Amino acid sequence: MTRGARAYARPMDPQTLTLIQVSFQAMSSTAIAAGFLFAAYQFIQTRKAQHFANFTKLVELQMHLREMRVSDPRLAEVYRHDIIGMGSEREIREHFFNLMQLSVFEIVWFGHRRGQIPEDYFQSWATRMRDIAAERSFREMFESPRMKIMHDDFQLFMRDLVRSVPERT
């Protein structure tokens, strides 16, 4: 046997062996704990995405009901509160068309609020909504006492946005 082989064949110091075993156990325990933390993070993110998807679907369904009233203004008469003060089919169509636009922005707002939509994209939408909020037909819709189903915080956000923009003449 060569001299190098004899040195390799020597038994390991018990303290060194214990240190190596504990180190491997610590690494595997850390890996397992990190796996659990990552799984928990993924679960939270999945729940956020599902919450956003559910909200989006509800607003889409609401928007479809509004779309039906744009297509056939007589359907707006089903709920008298929805057409208070409106006398023509054009007014009904404009009102519900503006509500549809508001619905789309509500989805963007909610997604941004929940971290699902980036800031720059949201700001692009907010800029466009300021342009829309300056329009007389939008302001009339928004300021009317007619039924408008929106998230309460979104309604407050929109009230501030509308007030911050002068009406276009």
pLDDT at res. 7: 58
Q: Is 66 exposed, middle or buried (0-12, 13-18, 19+ CB in 10 A)?
A: buried
Mean pLDDT of 43-65: 92
In a domain, 116, yes or no: yes
pLDDT tens by residue, 55-74: 999 999 999 999 999 999 99
Domain count, the chain: 1
Could you give the 3-state DSSP secondary structure of residue 166?
coil
Confidence grade of residue 1 (pLDDT, cut at 50, 70, 90): low
pLDDT at res. 8: 63
pLDDT at res. 9: 64
pLDDT at res. 145: 84
Helix-helix angle 136-143:152-163, to 10 degrees:
140
In a domain, 43, yes or no: no
In a domain, 52, yes or no: yes
Closest CA to 108 of 139, 87, 78, 129: 129
Residue 129 is part of which domain span?
Answer: 48-163
In a domain, 73, yes or no: yes
In a domain, 153, yes or no: yes
In a domain, 121, yes or no: yes
Half-sphere exposure of 65 (CA within 13 A, CB side): 13
In a domain, 134, yes or no: yes
What is the average pLDDT score of the chain?
Answer: 90
pLDDT at res. 3: 60
In a domain, 41, yes or no: no
Which of the residue ranges 40-44, 83-87, 104-108, 152-156 would you say has the lowest mean pLDDT? 83-87
